[in-house]
Structure 1
Amino acid sequence: MSRRDLRADLAICNATVPGPWSRTCNDFIVDAHGEMICEILADETVDTFIAESRTGWPHAIERALAAEAEVDRLSGNLRATFDALVGLLTLIPEKLEPEEQAIIDRIRADIYKEATAGDQTE
């Protein structure tokens, strides 16, 4: 499954009538000033979703974008730390055991796979 463009989704949310929105007893969705956004022709769960999504989706998207940025930052830190530690291992005069080298190779594959996988799904 391809990733959604969260910035485009957020732009769609922010381009509409400002929130918060709410449901009236007459089955209308109204903005913060009481101006009608739309009439609801479905059940209460649909109008609740529409009203709550006006402020909920932008908030969720902003949190997802912040979380992705934090993952990217932490992944970069992890890769840099790993590379520094592997560099320090070259200073040890003894050769690594095959099991130790296998651990290093597995970790390298894991942390660098994440970097390339993220680039391919954007």
Structure 2
Amino acid sequence: MERDAEKDLQMCEAATPGPWKTSQHDQYSLDIVSAPEQEVICWTDSFGQGARDGYFIAEAREALPYWIDRAVSLEKEVGMLRDALEKIDIHIRSTGDPVPHIIQTLKDTLPEYKEWWDIGE
């Protein structure tokens, strides 16, 4: 099933603000609560699979938005790098001396390396 990052992030933002944590309610139940308010979000069994699910729910409140943002950011970066590689490929195939264009494309695409590329020029 394909996911929509924007809708998933909106779902996260609509939930009770995090972070969430687990809190032992009694001998048999585990609360998932907002921190520091201690507002009960939901509860589960405090043993076995229920406890593992509770810890997952609490951690997912912060983890899911983090990883969605990270994935969206990396997808943009991958697109930018693919565009640069396509430009380089076109010049390699169509010109006798593609090196100057390759260097310029790398400088434009990876500005953090501009100073390094200027060495020796």
TM-score range for the pair, normalised by the shorter chain length: 0.5 to 0.7
Which stretch has the larger CA shift, 72-81 or 35-44? 35-44
| Matched residue, 1:36 | 40
Q: Deviations over 1:72-96 (max 9, x none)?
A: 0100110011112222149xxxxxx
RMSD, aligned CA: 1.7
Comparing both structures, which one devotes a greater share of its residues to strand? 2
Structure 2: state its 5+ residue gaps.
98-121
- Name the SS of the counterpart of 2:74 in structure 1: helix
Aligned to 1:13: 12
AA at the equivalent of 1:3:
E
3-state SS of 1:30 partner: strand
What is the alpha-carbon distance in structure 2 between the residues aligned to residue 8 and residue 87 of structure 1?
Answer: 43
Aligned to 1:82: 89
Deviations 1:87-116 (A, max 9, x none): 2149xxxxxxxxxxxxxxxxxxxxxxxxxx
TM-score, normalization by structure 1: 0.67
Aligned mates of 2:42, 2:21 — CA distance in 1: 11
Post-superposition offset of 1:69: 0.8
- The answer to whether structure 1 residue 53 and structure 2 residue 73 are counterparts is no
1:81–1:3 CA distance, 2 compared to 1 (3 A): farther
Paired amino acid for 2:39: E
Quote the sequence identity (%): 34
Q: What TM-score comes out, normalization by structure 2 length?
A: 0.68
Find the aligned partners of 2:38 and 2:2 in 1 and give their Cα distance. 36
Name the SS of the counterpart of 1:23 in structure 2.
strand
Please say if 1:63 is aligned against 2:66: no
Amino acid at match of 1:45: R
**Could you give the per-residue CA deviations for residues 48-69 of structure 1, whole angstroms, max 9, x where no partner exists?**
0000000011111111111111
RCO comparison, higher one (Cα < 8 Å, 6+): 1
